[in-house]
Amino acid sequence: MRSAFGLEALTARGRSRRLPRHEEDLPTEEGKEKPDARFPSALEDAGGKGRHQAASGEGSAAAHAERPEEVSGRSGVRLGKAARLTMRSEFLAVQERGRKVHAGAYIVLALPNDLGRPRLGVTVSSRIGVAVVRNRLKRWVREAFRAAAAGLPAVDLVVIGRSSAREAGLGGALRALAAAREAGGRRP
């Protein structure tokens, strides 16, 4: 009896002759454990199975030890959209009508707003350095703003990083916002 599915090609056991019989191709040593090639035996004998050793003070970790201070993780306070200047027109308004305060490594421009809370905009020119340096400066300014926001009046701030801000660190950003607070006065 012939069918359209080729049932005549099936053997008595219900298998096609063209398909390989996988059960016959299995090696006899299948049950034995094979050594794991990813872990050399020297590591197993060293007694440090599964443990990482401390850095020896060489390599990239030691090279970054003298880097400027970093903002450690999240401070717990998120700088949401309501606390930022997001549009170009907002930056331009502060730059045209705002009060300018030279604060060491930064220039701070402040313009009073009617929102009842301070807002921040950060500008760092590409002349300051590569993207890593510029982003580090912006992180420092944002962290300083989080720390100083409670004492700031309702103003829009634009902080412009200068080339000396690379060496000023987080402390320079804190001093810049403190100078802006003193120049703008405290909240009543």
Does residue 139 register a pLDDT over 90? yes
What residues contact 145, with CB distance under 8 A and at least 6 apart? 79, 83, 118, 120, 157, 159, 177
The Cα–Cα gap between 111 and 99 comes to 6
C-alpha closest to that of 40 among 51, 31, 49? 49
Fold exhibited by the domain 81-184: Ribosomal Protein S5; domain 2 (3.30.230)
Does residue 51 register a pLDDT over 60? no
What pTM did the predictor assign? Answer: 0.58
State how far Cα 38 lies from the chain centre. 31
C-alpha closest to that of 154 among 182, 187, 178, 180? 187
What single-letter amino acid sits at 87?
M
Does residue 71 register a pLDDT over 80? no
Does residue 180 register a pLDDT over 80? yes
> In 3-state terms, what secondary structure has residue 100?
strand
